[in-house]
Structure 1
Amino acid sequence: MGKKESKDVTEPNGTNQSNRHSGPTPSKSPKGGNNGSRRQPHRYHGKNHVGHKKKQRFESENGGAKSIEDDFDMTIAEELNSGNYKMKGRRAQVSINHLLQLQFPEVKKSPESIPPKSVRRKQNNSHHIHLHGDSFVNAHYRVLADNRINYKEQSNNPNVPVPRENIVRIVVPRGQNCPICLSEEPVVPRMVVCGHIFCLSCLLSFFAAEEAVKNKDTGYVQKRKFKECPLCGSILRSQNFKPVIFESDKSQERPQIGKESSFHLMCKPHGSMLPLPVHLGVDPLAVGDFPPVQMSQLAPYSRMMTCSSGYAIELLERDIDALNTQYEVDRVLYNDDGKFYKLALEELNAGVARILQDIDKEPVDVPSLASLHLGTNLKAKYDESNAFFFFQTAFESSTRYFLSPLDVKMLLFTYERYSRFPDELNAVVENVIYDTVVTEELMTRYKYISHLPLGTEIAMIELDWRSTDLIAQEVYGKFAPELKERRRRLHMRRTREDKQKKLYERRVEKEHKEFYQRENGEEYGPEIIYDSSDPVLDSLKLESDSADDIHEPHRKERTIWGTSIPVDEESSRENQEFEAMLRERMQQAESGNDGQLPVQGGKRDKKKKKSKVMLFSSNHQTL
């Protein structure tokens, strides 16, 4: 026991190598001469003695003892810096020295891929804004909402859609068929989240049909929890569709290039969401942001209108009548059992019951027709300081058409103030610029479109001022360089589009030609350059035309299957000579047979017939 304790006491003195090597020269151990003369083992990994000496000099300069852990870390760091550290284990077998000189290849951009630098302001008006669901409906259709709800949030921000439970109807143009029953006009139409329209009974049958999905890996079959739109594949949920009403039969007017169009001067007071034509004489602030549906003359200019509970019940009753009529037709023609007809009828009746529960609720801020003052002079009441004045046309279209900035600039130079613009402007359309949607940047440039939601499609119309007398010759001469430059850009764009159109037509013709060549088993030859601008496909030519065509590289022969095959000129000439000689011999044989009588029971006739058979079967080698 005593020896063991003495060993434990003296063990630290023998293991503290840092104290022993702290000086410039190692000293002998006080425990005995043998320990001082024997070389002490290094306590570090590897065989780098140079690194160990550097560590000793570093410790002597700092003049302090360090712990074993610090000593170990410092030694490893020095060996890593010197590159002499040797790792052990599996990772040491993989060399990663090639990563030290890793360089990515230099990407050389072609001049076509580098966008040209322009000092002019960047036009980001054509940025695409993805709209889906309620935002899509809010930007493209007019909404009829319940007048018993306060829509202050929608008045402050046009991008806030109306909640689905407050929507009475969505007004859409005609011409949309039901994707399920393919009827030209859906019966009791309903709009799903993606914007497509179905019949109510068709939707109910669509959601009632169970669809099983099989897992390819496990083979487990389970019921699909959701449905997909048959047209676009969007996820559809039951009871997540909106009622729809079709607009009255009105032509979707669109400005046509080269034709005269009528523009109306609109007045939109600051803070209002309803711009109205000046010639109507109706104050937008007196009507409110969302006028009632009874003011039908304001429907083309409003994005949202309100309706009463009585009007909503009237629309549901129309749906019930249309549903009954359609059921009678289906029962007679298709022997329909009326299952989904009854479900649709129950849903319509439930909608009427919900409205009747809250029928006593008073409407919110609905102006009466008697309180409106018609004939208000908006130009006298408003000016540039408190309202926006701008020209607009084609109000029945979902696309908003406005006058281009250059044309507005010319009118402003002529009339000096926006409020002095004429109430109506008739001029010939020179160009229509499409593919523009409302963005935040566009709103900052044209503040008069701030009442439109983001993503609304707009178009700028350029006028031909040579067809009107509103602009004086002096003003026209002042803006002549800009108008000339605009026409030059328009001409270049049309020329480029015509060239691309011709290239596309030629490519389509080439694809058709290759298709017919593959069908006929022909080999691809060199491309034939036609003299005319409208080349004719070889496979569509008539037989008479193919014989006289000088551009035909090989003469073709029509087979009994209707396909054409190339014919060798030499073999074709031999065949023609053989056919001519064969006809001549046949005619001589027939003429000789007519002048002779049958001999020996018809033996001569049998011989002649046999020779004919030999002629047809010997391939013109024996006549």
Structure 2
Amino acid sequence: MSDPNIHVPMNMVTRILISQVSSCPICLTDVPVSPRMLRCGHIFCYSCLLRFLSSEPAMAASNSSVHRLTLKSHKECPLCFDVVDINKTKPVTFSLHDERFEVPREGEDALLRLMVRPHGSIMAVPANSLLAPSEFETIPWYYSPGASEHARIMQGTVDYMLSEYEREIREIKNTMIEDELMFGDAGYYAKLAISKIHEAMKMINTTLSNDNYNGNKDKNSSSDDNDITSDAYNTCDLNETSILAADLESVSLDNTPELSYNTTETLGNSMGSVEVGSLYNDSTAYFFYQTSFNSVIRYFLAPLDINILRSAFGFYSSCPSVLLVKILNVVHSEVVTLDLQKRSKYLAHLPVGTEIAFVECDWSGVISDEVLKPFSEVLRERKKKKKQKERREERDFQRARAEEVAQRDELLRESGYELSVYERLYSQTMPSSKSAKQSGTMVVMVPRPTSVLESTSEIESGSSSSRRTVWGTSAVGDAPEPILDPIQRQLDLAASQDHDGASNGKAQKKKSKKMVLVSSGGKRLF
């Protein structure tokens, strides 16, 4: 199978591995329980999907002249309205990875691995891997080292499929117990999902329970293990005709529990523990650097940086297997196209539509100045373009921020609200786009925080009918007066009278001060 754009028939797919988790659109759980993928690609909990399919059919307007309502004879995906076929759903396994530690960032160090892909193969592995050349001609097993990170298609065994189904049953039972305790749910659809999983397990056992898949071989016989290995790889030829014509029984599932990791160890020992990178050169394979293998986006070394390394080491195959360098820039918004595959043949193993990004690195201190000197002008131009891009993004960010503030002020002006001094200062001191990107936060407009006096007065008033502003604070004039004791009221009255007399002393004749007597009601003031 040398063309990555050839679609694999869905009847050959037994399970789909996804590195990015998507929540269930029905129950909104973060990680769907026993997830199932529809033909459209959306993922649901198995029990939620069964509940949705058994619900009452929706009403749809017919195309008749009377526009009468008719019942739909099928269910549609609630997200994209594609027809749902329960027989075409596929089980899903999430390989959970935290992309915060996978995505390369500007100004940080990144670990680049030298990858090798022989001509005519769609599988790329690290150059320091211990693999035989014959492994590039077959689909790797799911337990092969690095298969989940580097292979797009893997072979699964019967034991693997049964273990995954058993794990799903345990998860459904745990969720059923929680739903019963929290919501009083009887768990009808959860039990229905478990019964359907048992049926799928029974079908796998009955379909593949023959002498070729029972795996009843002597584990102590190394020759038998080698025979199993050769037979397993021979039955899974990678040419396009056999892949597209094979059925579920002969390709996707094989009960070979004795293989485990002994297959890789046997191959490594037969090759004398030789790294795969030493078996190929620039004329027989493609060499390139890649990082962040568990990320949804594939990150590759930029073409200019590849040329610098080739100038330093002479050949791609002679480059170091691992590099730790500082990242200067990450160029996103790249998608694999047919034209890109023709221009950059080392990316021809990726299907069309794959999101990729190129990493630009700082080679000062890593590569000698003599090697970098011929590229000084190009590196200077790349740095200049990066600064121009940052200035352009900063201008766009400031323009968008100004438009947002203007729209907000217009809405507040129409509602009769006037910005306070704090809010105006906050609007003028919003962070820039660069600081927002580095902090990883989104710039939003927040209201002025309520002071302690305002919150106290609101609690004491206990009134829920006072008018509020769009920011959630009490409108001017609606705030109730603070509750003071009689002594404090008299002291405030005396202070206000003294202030009025002092302010009118210039225009009028100075009057004699009056004594204000304060009664404490028989209580001591001090």
Determine if contact 2:19/2:294 at 8 Å carries over to the other structure. no
Asked if 1 retains the 8 angstrom alpha-carbon contact of 2:141 and 2:147, the reply is no
Q: Which residue of structure 2 aligns with residue 369 of structure 1?
A: 264
Q: 1:447 aligns with which of 345, 353, 359?
A: 345
Aligned partner letter, 2:17: V
Alignment of 1:17-28 (within 5 A): none
Do structure 1's residue 309 and structure 2's residue 309 form an aligned pair?
A: no
- Is residue 290–residue 305 contact of structure 1 (8 Å, CA) maintained in 2? yes
Among 402, 426, 439, the alignment partner of 1:506 is: 402
Q: How does 1:378-527 map to 2 (within 5 A)?
A: 378-466=276-364, 468-469=365-366, 471-520=367-416
- Matches of 1:510 and 1:474, distance apart in 2: 54
The Cα offsets for residues 274-317 of structure 1, whole Å up to 9 and x where unpaired, read as 11111223235335442111214332111111111121112112
Counterparts of 1:338 and 1:534 in 2: how far apart (Å)? 51
Q: 436-445 vs 372-381, which deviates more?
A: 372-381
Equivalent of 1:269, from 113, 118, 126? Answer: 118
| Matches for 1:110-509 after TM superposition, within 5 Å | 155-173=1-19, 175-215=21-61, 218-249=66-97, 251=99, 253-286=102-135, 288-359=137-208, 360=210, 361-362=212-213, 364-365=235-236, 368-373=263-268, 375-466=273-364, 468-469=365-366, 471-509=367-405
Give the match for residue 123 of structure 1: none
After superposition, give the CA deviation of every residue in 1:526-553 in whole Å (9 maximum; x if it has no partner): xx99996659x9996999xxxxxxxxxx
Superposition deviation, residue 442 in structure 1: 0.4
Deviations 1:492-539 (A, max 9, x none): 0001001111111111111111111111178xxxxx99996659x999
SS at match of 1:392: strand
Counterpart selection for 2:478 from 560, 575, 583:
560
| Count of matched residue positions in the alignment of Structure 1 and Structure 2 | 401
Q: Specify which structure has the bigger relative contact order, considering alpha-carbon pairs within 8 angstroms and separated by 6 or more residues.
A: 2
Identity of aligned residues (%): 30
Shift of residue 194, structure 1, vs aligned partner: 3.1
Displacement, 1:440?
0.7
Report if aligned partners of 2:27, 2:48 keep a CA contact under 8 Å in 1: yes
Kept in 2, the 8 Å contact 1:187–1:322? The answer is: yes
Residues 274 and 289 in structure 1, CA contact (< 8 A), matched pair in contact too: no
Letter in 2 for 1:558: V
Say if 2:128 and 2:277, in contact at 8 Å, map to a contact too: no
Q: Distance in 2 between matches of 1:531 and 1:337?
A: 53
Q: CA deviation at 1:411?
A: 1.2
Q: Distance in 2 between matches of 1:405 and 1:182?
A: 42
2:311 alignment partner AA: F
The one-character-per-residue Cα deviations of 1:451-493 (angstroms, maximum 9, x if unpaired) are: 1111111111111112x32x22122111100000000000000
**Cα distance between partner residues in 1 of 2:372 and 2:173:** 63
Stretches of structure 1 lacking an aligned partner (at least 5 in a row)? 1-154, 523-527, 544-556, 563-578, 595-623
Q: TM-score, normalised by structure 2?
A: 0.68
CA contact 1:169–1:244 (8 Å) conserved in 2? yes
Distance change (3 Å), C-alpha of 1:541 and 1:320: closer
Deviations 1:313-347 (A, max 9, x none): 12112212222222222223222233212321221
Evaluate the alpha carbon distance shift between residue 158 and residue 296 of structure 1 in structure 2; reply closer, same or farther with a 3 A threshold. same
379-388 vs 452-461, which deviates more? 379-388
CA contact (8 A) 2:331 2:359 kept: yes
Do the aligned partners of residues 379 and 244 (structure 1) sit closer, same or farther apart at CA in structure 2, a change above 3 Å counting?
A: closer
Aligned counterparts of 2:181 and 2:300: Cα–Cα separation in 1:
51
Give the TM-score, by structure 1 length: 0.58
Distance 1:270-1:530 versus aligned 2 partners, 3 A rule: closer
The answer to whether the 8 Å contact 1:286/1:372 transfers is no
Residues 497 and 287 of structure 1, relative CA distance in 2, 3 Å threshold: same
Cα distance 1:398–1:284, how it changes in 2: closer, same or farther (>3 A)? farther
Q: Match of 1:306, SS? A: coil
For 2:447 and 2:144, the matched residues in 1 are separated by 63
The 1:270/1:560 distance shift into structure 2, 3 A limit, reads same
Alignment CA distance shift 1:234-1:432 (3 Å): farther
Shift of 1:401: 1.0
Q: Which amino acid aligns with 1:519?
A: S
Tell whether the 8 Å contact from 1:513 to 1:538 is kept in structure 2 after alignment. no
Q: Secondary structure at the match of 1:425?
A: strand
* Distance of 1:256 and 1:290 partners within structure 2: 33
Would the alpha carbon gap of residues 284 and 517 (structure 1) be closer, same or farther in structure 2, given more than 3 Å must change?
farther
CA drift at 1:204: 0.7
**Once superposed, what is the RMSD of the aligned Cα atoms?**
3.6
User: 2: distance between equivalents of 1:245 and 1:592?
Assistant: 83
Shift of 1:430: 0.7
Give the partner amino acid of 1:347: K
Change (3 A) 1:349 1:377: closer
- The superposition leaves residues 210-247 of structure 1 with CA deviations (integer Å, 9 ceiling, x where unpaired) of 23325386252211234343344444333332101121
SS in 2 for 1:372: helix
Aligned partner of residue 128 in structure 2, secondary structure: helix
Residue pairs, 1:512-591, within 5 angstroms: 512-520=408-416, 558-560=476-478
CA deviation after TM superposition for structure 1 residue 159, in Å: 1.6
Return closer, same or farther for 1:484/1:342 CA change in 2, 3 Å cut-off: same
Residue 159 of structure 1 aligns with an amino acid whose one-letter code is N
Report the structure number with the largest CA radius of gyration.
1
Secondary structure (helix, strand or coil) at the match of 1:342 reads helix
Post-superposition offset of 1:161: 2.8
The DSSP-based 3-state class of the residue aligned with 2:178 is helix
- d(CA) in 2 for partners of 1:515, 1:267: 59
Instruction: State the secondary structure of the residue aligned to 2:15.
Output: strand
For the residues of structure 2 that align with 1:473 and 1:593, how far apart are their CA atoms?
A: 90
1:208 Cα offset (Å): 1.3
* Cα distance between partner residues in 2 of 1:242 and 1:348: 12
Distance 2:406 2:274 in 1: 65
What's the CA shift string for 1:569-596, capped at 9, x where partnerless? xxxxxxxxxx979xx9xxx9x99999xx
Task: Give the Å deviation of 1:186.
Answer: 1.3
Structure 2 match to 1:78 = none
Runs of 5+ unmatched residues, structure 2: 214-231, 238-258, 419-423, 432-444, 452-474, 481-498, 505-511, 519-526
How much has 1:169 moved relative to structure 2? Answer: 1.6
Aligned 8 A contact 2:130 2:276 in 1: yes
Check the 8 A contact 1:273/1:289 in 2, yes or no. no
In structure 2, relative to structure 1, the CA distance for the partners of 1:427 and 1:593 (3 Å cut) is: closer
Looking at structure 2, the residues matched to 370 and 214 of structure 1 have their Cα atoms a distance apart, in angstroms, of 60
